[in-house]
Structures are given as structure tokens and as C-alpha cells.
Amino acid sequence: MANSPIARPKEKIQLLELRREIPRQYYVGAGIGFIAVFVAAWFLLTSFGFVSKIFLPSPAAVWGELMKQIQSGVLWQDAGASLYRIMVGWLLSTLFAVPIGILMGNFHFFEGLFEPFIDLVRYMPAVAFVPLTILWLGVDDSQKFAILFIGTFFQEVLLIMDNVKTVPRDLIQVSYTFGLSKWEILWNVILRAALPGVWDTFRITLGWAWTYLVVAELVAANVGLGYRIMRAQRFLETETIILGILVIGVLGLITDYLFKLSYKKLFPWVIQAR
């Protein structure tokens, strides 16, 4: 009679080990479970009258407002306008932040030239610039682009500078021994090595731009998610306020995951090294 194979003991799943991968179903299930608990708590608080509906409407009321805005087309109009403003404002910020951040990260002259001014302005609240931007640019979309730019650029440029500085100096010195010029090293070595970090900075700063949306649409807007939230505040329409906040969160989450997916496609060697 042949010997039967010895069954190996099942490996115990460790969910709380440092930097250890866990099965995908546990990873996804944890996130879905937390959201479910949050919604259940929200439902119980509003259903049993622990919180007045003026301060916190029920999930059903928010859902009803969502259906109403979808059917009237208001939601698509507001989301489209806000998405347009976010993308233009963030792209303008990135267009300037990338070259300036690269120069600051590689040349101490440019770091000394720009960093004191950037450090000064980045601590100034973007909302304080609303009156000035209206005086300078009027009340059209260019004023809203300016607020998004102010809220994003000064943080983004410093992060890109730090991304560039993470490239080891030894790698630069070795590149010189191969006869490369400083501009060839900058383009072919430093930028390529820093690109994964820069791409992650893009994802983070786009998230910041979403947080400045309500500020950008604070004044003289007649469409947009931020405008809809501020308008609802005047009439105590809390279901509209919460819906607007949730829609901004969902749109921001979608853009965040798009960057994460593209990061995995563009830089698979970085994922494997983690």
C-alpha cells in the first residue's frame, strides 16, 4: 500500500505583521466593512432621532437628493464644471512646479533663489487671496484657477524638489565617469530615477486641489459642486451639503485610484521592490 502524502498544516494568516502582504479579500473586505459600519451608525443615529435632521439628514434623504439632482441634470452640470476647474488649476500648478522643482532639487543657486519666497507664501491661507484674485482677475473661471494654483503650487514645487533630491549622489558621480554632460545626467539619470516619486506627488497634490474646490467656487459662481454646497448652506439644506461633500470625495477617490493604477503600470519595478 503506497504511503499517503503528509498533509501540510495550513499557514495561519497574519493580518498585523509589519509590511506583510495579506490576501486580497481581507484587504478589500476591511475597507468595505468599515464603510458599512459608518453608514449603519449614520442610519441608526438619524432613524432613532439622536440627531436632528437639520444637523444630520438620514442616508435616505441624501439618496433622495442624489436622485433628484441626477434626474434634473444638476449633478452632471456641477460635477463637470468642478472637474474642469480642478484639472485646469492643477495642470497650471504642475506646469510651473515641475521645472522649478527640478531646478531647485539640482542646483543650490535656484534653491536659494526660490525657497525663501515659496516657504513664505505656502503658509498663507488660499482663502485670504479670494478678494485679491477677484480684483486682479474678475469673477470668471480664471479667478478660480488662480485660487487652485495658489493652494497647490507652493506645496507641489517643494515636494518635487525633494523627489529629485532622493536620487543618490553616487549615481550622479558614476554617470560623470561615463562621460555624460550635466544636462544628459539631469535628463537621462536624475529625472528617470525621480519620476516614480514625482508621479506620486502628482497624485497627492491633485488630492489637495480637490480640497480647495469650495474655496475656489466661494464667490461669483453659478455652477459647481462647491457653489452648490455654499448655496445650500444659506437655506439649511444639509442633505444637499452632505451630497456635495460625498460627490467631491468620490470624484477625488476616482482620480486617486487612476493615478495608483497608472503608477503600477508605469513603474512595476518600484512595486516589486517594496
User: How does pLDDT run across 12-51, given as a tens digit for each residue?
Assistant: 667 778 778 888 888 889 989 999 999 999 999 998 888 8
Q: Using one digit for the tens of pLDDT, what is the confidence trace for 62-98?
A: 999 999 999 999 999 999 999 999 999 999 999 999 9
**Domains defined along the chain, listed by start:** 73-273 (1.10.3720.10)
pLDDT the model gives residue 1 = 47
Report pLDDT digits (tens) over 176-212.
Answer: 888 888 888 888 899 999 999 999 999 999 999 999 9
Cell of 238: 444639509
For 130-144, write each residue's pLDDT tens digit: 999 999 998 889 999
pLDDT band of 273, cuts 50, 70, 90: low
Q: What is the pLDDT of residue 272?
A: 64
Q: What is the pLDDT of residue 20?
A: 80
Q: What angle, rounded to 10 degrees, do the helices at 74-106 and 191-211 form? A: 140
**Alpha-carbon span 46 to 82, nearest angstrom:** 30
pLDDT tier for residue 10 given thresholds of 50, 70 and 90: low
Q: What's the pLDDT at 48?
A: 87
Q: Compute the C-alpha angle 271/269/261, nearest 5°.
A: 50
Query: Using CA atoms, how far apart are residues 216 and 209, in angstroms rounded to an integer?
Result: 10
Q: How many helices (H) and strands (E) does the chain have?
A: 13, 0
Average pLDDT (151-159) is 96
Higher pLDDT, 139 or 164: 164
**Alpha-carbon distances, residue 90 vs 17, 97, 203, 207, 258 (angstroms):** 37, 10, 11, 10, 16
Output the nine-digit C-alpha cell for 261. Answer: 493604477
HEC sequence for 22-39: CCHHHHHHHHHHHHHHHH
